[in-house]
Chains A and B, each alone.
Chain A
Amino acid sequence: MQQSVEGFDKYFAELTPAQRLVYGSLGFFDIYHSWYFNFLLLTLSLNIVLSSIDRFPGAWKYISKKKLSASRQFILSQRQRETVEVKDESRASLAQRIASACRDLGWKATVTGKGNSNYIFAERGAWNRLGAYTVHVALLVIFLGFFMTANWGHTGQMPLAPGDSATEITQLSFHLDQVSQVTVPLPFKVTCTDIQQKLIERDGPINAMNTIDWLTRIKITDERGEHEGLVHMNAPLDYRGYRFFQASFVSTGNARSIMLSLTPQAGGQPIEVTIQRNGSTMLSDGTKIEYLNFYPDFTLQGSEPDTASEDYNKPAAQLEVTTPSGERKTVYAFAMELPEGAPVGAPFGGYKFKLASFERAAQAHILSVQHDPGRLPFYLGSAFLVLTLCSVFFFSHQRVWARIEQKEHGNFEVVMGGDTNRNKLGFEDKFKRLVEMIGARVDEEKQS
């Protein structure tokens, strides 16, 4: 079992120490990075290169040395063959007619004469013989991409909550069931400005099953200046050869924005204000409210606020309130009704605070940052592979030979034969049509 796969720790826990030692030293937990795996991949590449070199000259001959004339025996040994007797003015005009019939069928025809015979050679798609080699070249380019990624690429994680900054990523390094972290510095600073979670059911849980998308807004700062960017699911952000992916999230509940309902103690209608995460607002009477923290399941650990679970059981927002007179206090706004006189929910600065509603979001998002020099060769190789595969399999190299010999009474004998490397059925149809076309013209002439 692979050590990076989910459930590995369970599997590993059930192994005996001897099994762990043997499997581990044979590289069974990380088989694709073992020396023998690399060796096999290298052997495969070499194999492809060598067999291509071995066979290429044979294929090249189809293009460089076209077989323009052919013996009767050769033509009659072809898969498709036919001998017909035709009447015509001269050998040359018959040859031209056959050649033009071939052209009508989409073949490129060449007429040659030698001794008492005329030859027509027609073909189509000779380059198709080279298709297999271009496929191999594409595969090697892909392998090169893999090799570059494996050796010079790195991928690390970056947890971000609004307000956080990071200048390095942590890379995970597996050794058996031990996971250790290695930090890799980045050539720029990443600051998170906002995280948002689009949910299907707005008041449902923030797990993956209820999520449409996670969005992380970041600001990248380096010597070139500041750049704003958005990373979300299946939409990575590219910057200076680095790619940022929305990888996962810290599943503790939080709130992207809170809506507070402030009831003046002096009487009057409650005031509603909305504050973004890490944001603040100023009331018309000069009271400043800062949104410090959010607890989905509020509890007190001694005198310190904390959350009892990840779920939104007792949501509370921690606020810093500054009165117009400069008096400051940390206040908690709860979504539920509190018993009269509860110390944590006590009014302050002339207001009673209540959490009217909030937009659910995760505590933090985890971005995956990748530096991958092998991507370009990989993509190029892939595009090339698809193109060449289509051109290899949807086309074929078709060849037809015809040999004209003079018979008695101005009759000529035409020996025709041909073959294809692919699409035999389609070729058979075409060949039959060629024979028909030459035959049909003879009939017309007979009638006239």
Chain B
Amino acid sequence: MSEVLQKPFILKTTSAERPDFKAYMPAVLAVAASLLMLILRIQFGGAHFIADSGLMLLALACYLTAAVFHLTNLYAPSTTAQRFGLWLATSGVFFNLSSWLVRWVNARDQEVAVILRNGGEIPWFFRYIPFANLYDLSLAFAFGAGITTLLIAHRKNFRFLGALSLPLASLILVLARFIGDELINLPPVLDSYWRPIHVGTASLSYGVALVCFAVAVVYLLKDRTKPEAMAIWTSIFSLSIIATISKFSVLTSATYSASTMMMGSSGRRMPIPLRADIPFVGPILVITALLLVGVIVTFGIYLAKNDEKMRAIGHWFLRLSLVAQGIGIATLISQIKSLTNITSHISTSQYAWFGKWLFEQQGMRPGEVAQISSAQLYQAAEQFVQQKGQMLALSTNGNPVELSALITALTATFFVILFSFRTERLREALPALEKLDSLMYKTASVTFALLAMLLITGAIWANESWGAYWSWDSKEVGALVAWLTYAAYLHTRIARGWTGRRSAYFAIVGFLLIIFTYLGVSYLLPGLHSYA
């Protein structure tokens, strides 16, 4: 972004070189075309206009194919691949932003229709800005990552970055797809002009942080980090995901169970904290976990003793784990789509806990719920399953974060395998270490500044609507910790002269903290930000 700000300055002072406007064309075009799409939607919109969810899928398809072209270009450099990659990425950003803008109008149309039927006054336009839940924010987050990639691509030797940042942006859109695109009624506390400012800063800062993370990974690769060492880390990452999903049940009892949803009469689906065991998935994930342990052990021995044999075995484990993860995800999704007679898959061991939830839903206080005997709880849950079992359904929207985490683990494994293939050639294709370090520093600085604005705008907004700028809410603390990590990056660089590899570790940890703040807080911890 500093590039953008500095460009006019060069314009004024030099006539020696013509300003490189053309290099910014993709970003400008994508934004301009999206605005045109918005105008078209407002002018000719209606039921026949392309749905925002359709546009989102188009964006996803563009990002994915663009990533393939970018990767091809790294291994077998060709101008055609590079050009295709860039234009597909541009179309991806266009579809992504259009989807977000069209959603804005759709959300307004839907609610205004209800209000007009009642004869009420029409609220202001910003009430409907798509920053209402995690779906909206994911859409904006992916856009932030996409536009940053396009802006950085104005330097030709940084175009390769899309090979990493676009798959990450795709993962975010996959997450959005699993969250589901239902429009929600906005909680009134969010209806403030601070929302576009605060959440807009959030999605931009997250997007820049994502690019910073991608640069850090590329830096490590260029800096001769062995793909085997990376494989150990991605395997630990995949293992921790397999261990924690489905309430830790995969490694403890070799079962995976998915959350059920209750189909309401109006077509709305309500998530129910009752999980149904999905056949085959548990054992497959256990096998995957064993393969991943194999990867960690063999590569560990290879790195410690330089044992070539172990290295070869490790790579086989790694490839097998990729296949196993793929089969696991495919089985999970196909079972979710096809499984019938869900009640027979619901384990009764959840009844005591679910019974408590049922009583709480009826408005009982925790103290009162604690008085209820476990037999009563069990009975209440059993009765619910018997009576309402027919209304329960499985959906890929039931566990968006778990599914996306599995797919992210798969992607990470895939990339490590890719990196270990013709690694030297790949390293040669990448820009010099110093340039990567400089870009990493630049993106980290922008992330730091944007996160600071995120915290400040959040604090001011909180003070305007809750009367307290800082409530030590879990999301606030998460964002603060991420900000401090980037602050540590900058301070160690200035005060201690840490650059390169050590900085890259900070950038990676910082981004992981951002993802934790982004998802973990909403799905795991209680707090004021529970809506998004």
Contact = CB atoms under 8 A, between A and B. Distances in A.
Contact of A437 (B16, B155, B468): B16
B390 interface: no
Contact of B118 (A9, A104, A201, A213): A201
A393 B370 contact: no
A368 interface: yes
A12 B365 CA distance: 12
Given A378-B469, A425-B438, A13 B370 contact: yes
A6 B530 CA distance: 11
A393 B449 contact: yes
Given A9-B366, A214-B188, A386-B453, A394 B464 contact: no
Interface stretch (B212-220, B339-347, B455-463): B455-463
Nearest to B194: A234
Given A155-B468, A234-B189, A245-B466, A104 B439 contact: no
A390 B463 contact: no
Interface string B1-44: 11101100110111011000000000000000000000000000
Nearest to B15: A104
A208 B187 contact: yes
A32 interface: yes
Interface string A57-73: 00000000000000000
Interface in A185-216: 198-203, 208-214
B446 interface: yes
Contacts of B185: 200, 209-210
Contacts of B497: none
Given A433-B14, A436-B16, A211 B188 contact: yes
Contacts of A212: 123, 127, 188, 191
Interface string B360-398: 100001110110000000000000000000000000000
Interface in A221-247: 233-234, 236, 243, 245, 247
Contacts of B527: 5
B502 interface: no
Given A105-B13, A245-B466, A422-B445, A10 B366 contact: yes
B119 interface: yes
A446 interface: no
B120 A199 contact: yes
Contacts of A12: 366
B465 A233 contact: yes
Nearest to B449: A389
A105 B152 CA distance: 23
B464 A234 contact: yes
Interface in B233-253: none
A105 B17 CA distance: 12
Contacts of A106: 9, 12-13
B13 A394 contact: no
B524 interface: no
B330 interface: no
Residue of A236, A368, A385, A394 contacting most chain B CB atoms (<10 Å): A394
B188 A233 contact: yes
B448 interface: yes
B442 interface: yes
A233 B463 contact: no
B192 interface: yes
Contact of B6 (A209, A213, A423): A423
Given A6-B526, A422-B445, A245 B467 contact: yes
Contacts of A149: 469
B120 A243 contact: no
A393 B453 CA distance: 13
Interface in B176-229: 185, 187-189, 191-194
Interface in B447-484: 448-449, 452-453, 456, 459-460, 463-472
A245 B465 contact: yes
B5 A233 contact: no
Contacts of B189: 233-234
B526 A378 contact: no
A379 interface: yes
A7 B449 contact: no
Contacts of B366: 9-10, 12-13
A117 interface: no
Interface residues of A, number: 64
Size band of the interface chain B makes with A: 35 or more
Interface of B is mostly: helix
Nearest to A210: B185
Contacts of A199: 118, 120
Contacts of A263: none
A12 B472 CA distance: 19
A68 to B, nearest CB: 23
A198 B120 contact: yes
B370 A14 contact: yes
B111 interface: yes
B494 interface: yes
A234 B187 contact: no
Contacts of B2: 393-394, 423, 426
Nearest to A4: B471
Interface string B407-431: 0000000000000000000000000
A108 interface: no
A208 B186 CA distance: 9
Nearest to A202: B118
A323 B111 CA distance: 46
Interface string A418-448: 0000111110011001001100100000000
B120 A202 contact: yes
B191 A233 contact: yes
B337 interface: no
Contact of B114 (A10, A200, A389): A200
B435 interface: yes
A5 B476 CA distance: 14
B459 A382 contact: yes
Contacts of B191: 212-213, 233-234
Contacts of A389: 448-449, 452-453
Contacts of A386: 452-453, 456
B115 interface: yes
Contact of B115 (A14, A200, A422, A430): A200
Contacts of B456: 382, 385-386
A382 B188 contact: no
Contacts of A14: 370
Contacts of A6: 526
A415 to B, nearest CB: 22
B304 interface: no
A259 interface: no
Contacts of B16: 433, 436-437, 440
Contact of B14 (A105, A203, A368, A379): A105
A382 B120 contact: no
A368 to B, nearest CB: 5
B119 A9 contact: no
B438 A424 contact: yes
B47 interface: no
Contacts of A155: 467-468
Contacts of A393: 2, 445-446, 448-449
B449 to A, nearest CB: 4
Contact of B464 (A5, A210, A211, A236): A236
Given A106-B12, A198-B120, A200-B120, 12 more contacts: A13-B370, A149-B469, A155-B468, A200-B115, A203-B118, A212-B127, A212-B188, A245-B467, A389-B448, A393-B2, A425-B439, A426-B3
Interface of B: 1-3, 5-6, 9-10, 12-14, 16-17, 111, 114-115, 118-121, 123, 127, 155, 185, 187-189, 191-194, 360, 365-367, 369-370, 434-435, 438-439, 441-442, 445-446, 448-449, 452-453, 456, 459-460, 463-472, 494-495, 526-527
9 contacts: A13-B369, A55-B495, A200-B120, A208-B188, A233-B191, A234-B464, A368-B467, A370-B468, A425-B438
**9 interchain residue pairs of minimum CB distance:** A234-B192, A10-B366, A202-B118, A393-B445, A370-B467, A382-B456, A389-B449, A424-B438, A245-B467
